[in-house]
Amino acid sequence: MTTASHQTSGKPFGLQLPEYPWDSMAPYQATAAKHPDGVVNLSIGTPVDPTPALIQDALKAAADAPGYPTTHGTLALRQAVVDWFARRRNVPGLDPADVMPTVGSKELVAWLPLLLGLGAGDIVVRPKVAYPTYDMGAVFAGATAVAADSLDELDADTRAKVRLVWINSPGNPTGIVRGVEEMAALVAAAREIGAVVASDECYGELGWGQWDTENGGEPVPSVLDPRVSGGSNDGLLAIYSLSKQSNVAGYRAAFVAGDAAIMANLVNSRKHAGMIVPYPVQDAMRVALGDDAHVSAQKDLYRNRRARLVGALEGFGLTIHHSEAGLYLWCTAGEDTWTTIGRLAELGILAGPGVFYGEAGNGFVRVALTGSDERIDAAVQRLGAK
């Protein structure tokens, strides 16, 4: 009989990974579920608004797809990505050959260290407060993850082993935006030691305040912006997802672009592994990237929800840090993370525990803007009635 605990030579099958952190939210979910008006779940940033009709129509129109899609992506899709970078991210002149669709951005984050050939003795640098998958990507490759916001924080021996540096701007969960000068300095430092810089930019269209282009702000900088890259994409990769901007998280629609040599290797490796975005999704991405109106309309919804939540959370006694962009408010009440999570759960509100994002997240909670207007209004009312 074969069971999950079957072993060979005393070694269990399967990767010995830590438990998925969100499982520890179960008791707080049970508490929140007791609220008579139901749960307001602002713990996970999954879109709740409808996928725009033009994207659904594009998916349906491409549904007759009997043949295998290409790993590299259709030329029409890659050209749409190039045009989007030029129009929205201040990245002109990108070569369509240096673009590839991915099955969402999370899978690329998780597998990039392995696809780059990293292994034992190699170091992956990720932000101090960060999405956990950066660490898991290092684990899958057998490399080591180190938390640092600048390579200057590392000693000489550690710096010498760095092969990959992650930037996440706008950041999850903090919503921090790295400016041009800061990003350019990090790129220069990584190039000095021969490390690749991978920039996770999936919240790039969702800037607020000085980064809100609809209200006169400037675009969130991309690592491929010439002011950051110095006019060369050598050693640089930008990762982007349409999940947030276009409400297509269920499509798993994302892409990577940058260094020509690295991109050619990634395309080849993914051909061998069968990591391919379905053709109907590729064509839906092409259409979505060519339309700015639906992105602006969705951003209006988030802007209004954000404004209502900011006042309510501050009235509840939380201080909001960073949160200059993205779909989250990074908050603290100056107490243990789980104490705040528990107090919110008593109101029927679920937030994300800051401790899930590294030691530096202790004391913080992440509140997502991804609730319907009705649920956001319910949260505002409950926070005010504390």
Q: What ranges do the domains of the chain cover? A: 20-50+294-384, 67-290
Residue 144 is predicted with a pLDDT of 96
Q: Which CATH architecture has domain 67-290?
A: 3-Layer(aba) Sandwich (3.40)
Q: 230-235: long-range contacts (C-beta < 8 A, 24 or more apart)?
A: 230/184, 230/187, 230/188, 233/94, 233/98, 233/258, 233/259, 233/260, 234/191, 234/259, 235/187, 235/190, 235/191, 235/194, 235/195, 235/196, 235/197, 235/259, 235/262
- Using 50 as the pLDDT threshold, list the residues of the chain that sit under it: 1-6
Return the structure tokens found at 227. 């002011």
Residue 178 is predicted with a pLDDT of 96
Non-local (6+) Cβ contacts of 239 within 8 A are 102, 105, 108, 109, 198, 199, 200, 201, 202, 254, 255, 256
Non-local (6+) Cβ contacts of 187 within 8 A are 197, 223, 228, 229, 230, 235, 236
**CATH code at 20-50+294-384:** 3.90.1150.10
Q: Give the 3-state secondary structure of residue 106.
A: helix
Residue 124 C-alpha from the chain's centroid: 17
The whole-angstrom separation of Cα 343 and Cα 337 is 10
pTM summary value = 0.92
Residue 10 is predicted with a pLDDT of 64
Residue 358 is predicted with a pLDDT of 86
Residue 23 is predicted with a pLDDT of 72
Residue 18 is predicted with a pLDDT of 62
Return the structure tokens found at 134. 């950066």
Residue 7 is predicted with a pLDDT of 53
Non-local (6+) Cβ contacts of 345 within 8 A are 28, 29, 31, 32
Residue 24 is predicted with a pLDDT of 83
Sign of CA dihedral 360, 363, 369, 372: positive
Residue 74 is predicted with a pLDDT of 97
Residue 124 is predicted with a pLDDT of 98
DSSP string across 287-303: HHHT--HHHHHHHHHHH
Strand partners, 254: 102, 241
Residue 112 is predicted with a pLDDT of 97
